[in-house]
Amino acid sequence: MKVLTKNTDYAIRALLALAAEKGRYLSAKSIAAGQDIPYQFLRTLLQEMIRHNLIVSKEGARGGFMLEKDPDTITVTQLIEIFQGKVQVSECMFRKQICGNRSRCVLRHEIMRIEQVVQSEFEKVTIGKLLRDLEAANRK
Amino acid sequence: MKVLTKNTDYAIRALLALAAEKGRYLSAKSIAAGQDIPYQFLRTLLQEMIRHNLIVSKEGARGGFMLEKDPDTITVTQLIEIFQGKVQVSECMFRKQICGNRSRCVLRHEIMRIEQVVQSEFEKVTIGKLLRDLEAANRK
DNA sequence: ATTAACTGATACTAAATTAGTATCAAATAA
DNA sequence: TTATTTGATACTAATTTAGTATCAGTTAAT
Ligand code: FES
Ligand code: FES
C-alpha cells in the first residue's frame, strides 16, 4: 500500500526546491533537472499548484515559478487532497447488508476516526518543517 | 486517496460473516450473497486467506469456510498487508538529489514515523472488535 | 454409483487510476 | 526578432484494481 503517489511526491520536492530559493523565480526546467522529475509531468503539477494558489508564475524568458506563501502553512495533507483526493479509508465499507443502520453506524465511526488520525499526522508535516530538517541534515 | 481497496474491504466483511457463525462452515456462495460480494472475486480472496492461515476450508457438498483463529487476533493491518502490501508512505521520497545522505535521512524518519502511526491505528481494529461493535449497533 | 454442491488452482479480461508525453499558443527578456 | 519560458489541453502508456471464467477434484446425500 503506497500512501503517496508520484504527483504528490514530486509536488513536495518541487515545493522544497522553491522554498529553498524563496523570492526568486525558478524555471520548471531547472526544478525538473535538479529533482529528477519528468519535465512535462512536473509542468502539469506546477500548474495545478498555481490553481490552488500555492505558487505564482511569471511567463516568458527568465520566467518561472515562485513560492509566495509561508512554507509552514503548506501541509502534506493539503497536497494529498490536491493530487489524490481527500483521505478516505473506504467509501462506505459495510453497507446496508451488514450495517442496517447507516446513520449511526459504529464501524463508520471507527473508520472516520482513522481517517482523522492519518490526516492530522500529515498535517504536522509542512514544507517549512521538511526544509529545515533537510538543511539540518545537510549541515552535518 | 482511498486507503482500503475492495479486496481488503471484502475480506473484512467475509471474516465478519465467518466470525459471526464461528464453528460452522459457511459456503463462499452464502457469504457472497449475504455481503453482496462478487462470488468469484470472493473465492480468490478466501483462498488467499487460507494461504495465510486465517481460515480453513472443507471441500465438497456442505463444505465451506470456517474461522478458527480468535477474531481478536486478526487485525486490519494484517489484512492490508496481505491484500495491498506493507504500508509505505513513499518508496524513497527524496533521493540522492535532495537527500545527499540517505543513511541518516531526516525526512525518511518523518516518513517512517507516519507509516508506523497508520499501521498501529489499523492494528487496533480487529475482526473481534468490529463484530462486537456491529452487534451492539444491531441491538439498538 | 450418480449427482449436486462444494473448494482448489489458475488464467484471463475489463475498468480505473497513475504516470508520463506531446503540441501549440502566448508572453517576455535580451 | 529570437530564444526561453509558461498556459492550456489533449493524448498515450503502464500499472494496479476489480472482476470473470474454467476445469479438475472432493464430499454428502440419494
Ligand atoms: S453504513 Fe457504510 S460503513 Fe456502515
Ligand atoms: S534518501 Fe530516500 S527519503 Fe531521504
A44 part of a folded domain = yes
Tens-digit pLDDT profile for residues A13-69:
999 999 999 999 999 999 999 988 999 999 999 999 999 999 999 999 999 999 989
Q: Are B115 and B89 in contact (CB under 8 A)?
A: yes
pLDDT at position B4 = 87
Tens-digit pLDDT profile for residues A3-15:
889 999 899 999 9
Task: Assign B108 to helix, strand or coil.
Answer: helix
Taking each helix axis from N to C end, the angle separating A28-35 and A39-51, rounded to the nearest 10 degrees, works out to 120
pLDDT at position A113 = 83
- Expressed in angstroms, the distance from the first to the final Cα of chain A is 33
Considering chain B, what is the average pLDDT of its residues?
86
Q: Residue A38 CB closer than 7 angstroms to strand C?
A: yes
Q: Could you give the percent of chain B with pLDDT greater than 90?
A: 61
CA of B63 to C1' of D26 (A): 9
Q: Residue B43 CB closer than 7 angstroms to strand D?
A: yes
| Cα–ligand 2 centroid distance for B102 (angstroms) | 5
Contact B101 A34 (CB under 8 A): no
A72 part of a folded domain = yes
- Evaluate if residue B63 carries a pLDDT over 60: yes
* Nearest-neighbour CA in chain A from B108: distance (Å): 10
Q: How many helices (H) and strands (E) does chain B have?
A: 7, 2
B108 part of a folded domain = yes
Q: Which atom of ligand 1 is nearest to the CA of A90?
A: 3
Q: Look up the pTM and report it.
A: 0.90
A1 part of a folded domain = no
Count of domains observed in chain B: 1
Rounded Cα gap, residues A110 and B17, in angstroms: 18
CA of B47 to C1' of D20 (A): 16
Torsion of CA B71, B77, B82, B88, to 10 degrees: 180
Bases of strand C lying below 7 A from some protein CB: 4-11, 18-23, 26-30
Q: Cell numbers of A61, please?
A: 524568458
CATH number for the domain harbouring residue B118: 1.10.10.10
User: Smallest Cα–Cα separation from A17: which of A38, A40, A41, A33?
Assistant: A33
A125 part of a folded domain = yes
B98 part of a folded domain = yes
Tens-digit pLDDT profile for residues B94-130:
444 445 444 445 466 777 788 888 889 899 999 999 9
- Expressed in angstroms, the distance from the first to the final Cα of chain B is 33
Contact A137 B105 (CB under 8 A): yes
Q: Which domain holds residue B28?
A: 6-139
Q: Are B53 and B67 in contact (CB under 8 A)?
A: no
B3 and A CB contact within 8 Å: yes
Q: Residue A63 CB closer than 7 angstroms to strand C?
A: yes
CA of B35 to C1' of D26 (A): 26
Which segments of B3-105 does DSSP mark as H helices, in order?
6-20, 28-35, 39-51, 76-84, 96-99
